[in-house]
Amino acid sequence: MTEPRSATDPGTLERPRRTAVVGAGAIGAIVAEALYSSGHQVTLCVRRPLGALTVERDGLRRRFQAPTATRPSEVSAPVDWLFLATKAHDTPHTLHWIRRLAGPSTRVVALQNGVDHHERIAPMLAMGTLLPALVYIAAERLSREHVTHRWGRRLVVPAGPSGEDLADLLSGSHLEVVREPDFTTAAWRKLMTNLAANPLTALTLRRIGVLQQPELRELARGLLTEAVTVGRAEGARLVMADVDQTLDLYSAMHPHSGTSMLYDRLAGRAVEHDLITGALVRAAERHDLPVPLNRAVLALLRALGEEGTVGIQSLASVGG
């Protein structure tokens, strides 16, 4: 079992912080384990009670037991740090947690996809400070209490005091906090990493290696090229080289790697299309820009609906 670091160890804050993580999926578990290993108090806010969590990382299994709460009233309020680790489309369901746990000095970290964190979440905050975070971590939930880390350690946040404090908070963990002065551009680049890989793996029920097929690689290029045009109109400093860099990222990934949309579809959960492809299409509409490829993909994703998901017991049966 992972032991929390002492509050007097180098690289930790002066005292353990009271933290809460809403959502114990793959990313929520990874972040909770990082907070726990840094010596902080962690409460997992979940729908159903959890036992000990197992996080596989760097060839080792780390098992830790954090308190869980299924109702906001079970947590002493407010906390110092509140991490929202649900999918973006589930954010409205976190309102009762936010209202209970966010006080005047609480930092609310949104560990979610999208380019509109402030527009979606800030109106929900009666108190506290919002810190959007771009998550460059690939992890897979093998069971409700077992998560495996695939690759990536970075959380990218806007430069400023809150970002510095988050870096201090996680300084005793394996996670790296990057403070980005141009967060708008960073958010759009992160959107691009999801824009082709997530929908195309989910729609084909194939792992990331499918994007090396010539026809799908060209489709991915087209989706990303549309994103560069729209992102520029939104104020992001994107260039066409970002398309090639994103495609190179896909090529560098292990062909049997999955995506969050693929995992969600295989598990019978709704796929997170509205804050990825949907966000791109809405931004294009604001600037009257044509994005026919992304519109077509969005139509297909919406058509999946609840009946388009398939529960598959073993991801090993899915081709790559």
Q: What is the C-alpha to C-alpha distance for residues 223 and 204, in angstroms, rounded to an integer?
A: 16
Is residue 21 within 8 Å of 31, Cβ to Cβ? yes
How would you class 284 by CB atoms within 10 Å of its CB: exposed for 0-12, middle for 13-18, buried for 19 or more? buried
Q: What is the C-alpha to C-alpha distance for residues 91 and 245, in angstroms, rounded to an integer?
A: 31
Q: How many CB atoms lie within 10 A of CB 252?
A: 9
Give, in order, the Cα–Cα distances in Å from 155 to each of 41, 132, 236, 254. Answer: 20, 10, 19, 21
Which single residue is written with the structure tokens 């090993």?
316
Cα 178 to chain centroid, rounded: 15
Using the CB atoms, write b or e for 9-37: b if 16+ within 10 Å: eeebbeebbbbbbbbbbbbbbbbbbbbbb
| Residues with a known catalytic role | 190
Q: Which two tokens stand for residue 135?
A: 């998550």
- The SS3 of residue 86 is coil
Phi-psi category of residue 16: left, alpha or beta, with phi > 0 → left and psi -120 to 50 → alpha: beta
Q: Which helix (H) or strand (E) holds 153?
A: strand 146-158
- The SS3 of residue 43 is strand
